[in-house]
Structure 1
């Protein structure tokens, strides 16, 4: 499996707190930013860097989100790859390899950085320690060491999310920049449903 596909899977599938009050304020500020976002459409540009800051790979594509737990992430370059869920089944379609995998969507998947955007706002403080660097920048550190990532930064421009920065256990950094962001436009539920194309291998990851 190449580097980009590993990063896609990690995207979908600790800072000290100065005081309890400040931590609660940070969570509230972030929740206020996210809970006004019922739907989200955006283009994304993703850059992966190693621990020394050298660029390993770049990719771009389209993101669509609808609360609760509806998520569509399509990478268009350099590889075509789709991650989509209706909140019940999570599908991964590798168009280059003509392979599809499916698995039940579980509550644990809300911890994945990208899926956080479509998850339940109330769960943020249970899953993460939150620090507000500014009113537009928030750092999230997982409360449990699940190996997915060490630190996640969410950045906003006004009311809209503008980017995410993910640092993993190998100190690699994934920078995701959003553009053409549109919030709260109608999105049909059918967008988040998926039917495997005929002739494509389907791997069933049911437990």
Structure 2
């Protein structure tokens, strides 16, 4: 799974609502149709098929539906992704490079698009009740399409349905596990967080509308 797709899958999965329903279809629909804003700190760990750690990162993010987010890696190095609803900007300070591509095409056929736009999840996913893990309800999403980058997504929902953890299983047996802290559903008033202007002198690469 590419870094870009991993970021997208994680970021726009975050929309919260009270999760009283036990049925996974209803639970996820409540999750999708919930509050408009979300912010949190995160730690992301990527494992290979044997469980060995490949990568560990941390940072913060903010989400404002529909379709705007800011995903900011701060450790062990900086990287920033901003989606203004129309374009996705990916800035790597160490390379002094910015890549930009149309958001709609990149998000197409991913959980990011489905969850951000409020589509019926059952159209493209098989939903399962994953049981409970302590005080969290686990919901499992299996893509119906065969040509996806992932084979399973698991969501841990608690505290009125706010997600606390997401785990992605890729087609090669690896996993990406994201844990969240300091989660807030308060309205984000500073909308400038969801716009991006390339720094002076940075190389800007405009990628084709290929969804890659």
TM-score using structure 1 length:
0.83
What is aligned with 2:16? none
Within-5 A mapping of 1:124-135: 124-134=121-131
The CA deviation at 1:186 is 2.6
1:77/1:177 Cα in 2 relative to 1: closer, same or farther (>3 Å)? same
Q: Distance in 2 between matches of 1:117 and 1:80?
A: 28
What is aligned with 1:30? 28
Aligned residues of 1:72 and 1:83 also touching (Cα < 8 A): yes
Structure 1, unmatched stretches of 5+, are 1-5, 14-24
Matched, 1:10 2:5: yes
Matched, 1:172 2:174: yes
Matched, 1:147 2:137: no
What is aligned with 1:186? 188
Structure 2, unmatched stretches of 5+, are 9-22
Aligned residues: 191
Higher mean alpha-carbon deviation, 127-136 vs 163-172, is at 127-136
Q: Runs in 1 of length 4+ with deviation above 6 angstroms? A: none
Within-5 A mapping of 1:41-60: 41-60=39-58
The CA deviation at 1:119 is 0.6
TM-score using structure 2 length:
0.81
Higher mean alpha-carbon deviation, 145-154 vs 96-105, is at 145-154
Q: Give per-residue Cα distances to partners, 1:48-80, cap 9 Å, x unaligned.
A: 111111112210011111110011111111121
CA root-mean-square deviation: 2.2
Q: Distance in 1 between matches of 2:59 and 2:113?
A: 18
The CA deviation at 1:206 is 3.5
Q: Give per-residue Cα distances to partners, 1:69-98, cap 9 Å, x unaligned.
A: 011111111121111111101111112211
